[in-house]
A and B are shown apart, each in its own frame.
Chain A
Amino acid sequence: DQQVKQNSPSLSVQEGRISILNCDYTNSMFDYFLWYKKYPAEGPTFLISISSIKDKNEDGRFTVFLNKSAKHLSLHIVPSQPGDSAVYFCAARGAGSYQLTFGKGTKLSVIP
């Protein structure tokens, strides 16, 4: 049973436009959410995160939005750059747990 779902396996965006990656979760005990970026043949690298007490967190071109009532979060990248082309994983952590639960990932392709 997938507790973290990324329903879009891939997304293509023109350079300079906005990329929006979506993530849904089912476990209401999740209290911290993270986005990781992964290039081929490398490990995932941390991108941005948000605590469940917030609804938005911004870091440069990256913004994460959390809608707790809908159990939905999204990652906005603006403007998108070709170097952003990678697989993006959404992850969630439950209160009192060390464990991260990952989604299946969305492959973003930014077209020059």
Chain B
Amino acid sequence: DTAVSQTPKYLVTQMGNDKSIKCEQNLGHDTMYWYKQDSKKFLKIMFSYNNKELIINETVPNRFSPKSPDKAHLNLHINSLELGDSAVYFCASSQGGLAGDRSYNEQFFGPGTRLTVL
């Protein structure tokens, strides 16, 4: 009974290709996120959607485009893949809201998608 799931788990592709990573959460959360963990192991936020509306859009190349068809899904599409895009991408979700309470702050992470660009 997976809370946050991502597909695929591994993705190997050539430079210049376009690929998508899908994310689904069954927790009833309002907010979803995409993070990138690079070779230096930093987890960096890329995007966040709250109720299908983009609320965080960090400085990432516009080759990356998130799409949220509904509250339970946040997909990541990457155009013209480059070598530097190789990383592990994590999807996460949270209840949303800004209260100083664990239930609002805790983010639940998916298992990650390891993207390798050759």
Known: A89-B43, A102-B43, A105-B41. A42 touches B111 (CB 8 A): yes
Q: Of residues 4 to 43 in A, which have CB atoms within 8 Å of B's CB atoms? A: 31-32, 34, 36, 41-43
B68 proximal to A (CB < 8 A)? no
Partner of B45, one of A36, A95, A99: A99
A53 proximal to B (CB < 8 A)? yes
- Interface size for A (C-beta < 8 A) is 27
Mark each residue of chain A from 72 to 99: 1 if its CB lies under 8 Å from any CB of chain B, else 0.
0000000000000001010001011111
| Nearest CB of B to A98, in Å | 6
Q: Are B107 and A102 in touch, CB under 8 angstroms?
A: no
Stretch with Cβ within 8 A of A (4 or more), from B13-21, B75-83, B96-104? B96-104
**How far is B43's CA from A93's CA once the two chains are assembled, in angstroms?**
14
Partner of A41, one of B4, B98, B105, B112: B112
Q: Are A42 and B56 in touch, CB under 8 angstroms?
A: no
Taking CB atoms, residues of chain B closer than 8 Å to A95 are: 98
Q: Are A43 and B110 in touch, CB under 8 angstroms?
A: yes
Taking CB atoms, residues of chain A closer than 8 Å to B112 are: 41-43
Taking CB atoms, residues of chain B closer than 8 Å to A34 are: 105-106
Q: Which residues of B contact A (CB under 8 A)?
A: 4, 31, 40-45, 48, 50, 55-56, 90, 92, 94, 96, 98, 100-102, 105-112
Q: Which residues of A contact B (CB under 8 A)?
A: 31-32, 34, 36, 41-46, 49, 51-53, 87, 89, 93, 95-102, 104-105
New A-B pairs, 10, CB < 8 Å, besides A31-B100, A49-B105, A99-B56: A32-B100, A44-B43, A46-B108, A49-B106, A87-B41, A96-B98, A97-B98, A100-B45, A102-B44, A104-B41
